[in-house]
Amino acid sequence: MSRDGRVAVDTVGSLLAAIANAIQDALRVLMFADKRTWGTPEFEQLRLLEEVLDEAKRDFQELPALVNGRFYYENDRKGMFMSLIYS
């Protein structure tokens, strides 16, 4: 169930968007962190999160060919993930 009480219909696109939003939130937290005491592992984690987010965006763009359902994919895409791409 979603936060407003409606039943949520999870689609591949909405699940990918939720994962991408979680990665974006983690990146945002790390960007505002005090980096004066960071070592190599922290900077490596930041780099890997950025790489994973880029890979998730590419995967989302390649999704229609994999699911053979361009109509459903495009309708699913209009809401959640597009807000992430343009944020």
- The string of DSSP codes covering 44-82 is HHHHHHHHHHHHHHHHHHHHHHHHT-HHHHHHHHTTHHH
Instruction: Give the integer Cα–Cα distance in Å for 77 and 73.
Output: 6
- On whether the CB atoms of residues 38 and 66 are closer than 8 A, the answer is no
First to last CA, the chain: 25
Q: Tens of pLDDT along the chain (87 residues)?
A: 456 666 566 777 778 888 889 999 999 999 999 999 999 999 999 999 999 999 888 887 777 776 665 555 555 555 555 555 555
The reported pLDDT for the residue numbered 34 is 92
The reported pLDDT for the residue numbered 6 is 60
- Whole-model pTM over 0.75: no
- On whether the CB atoms of residues 76 and 12 are closer than 8 A, the answer is yes
The reported pLDDT for the residue numbered 46 is 94
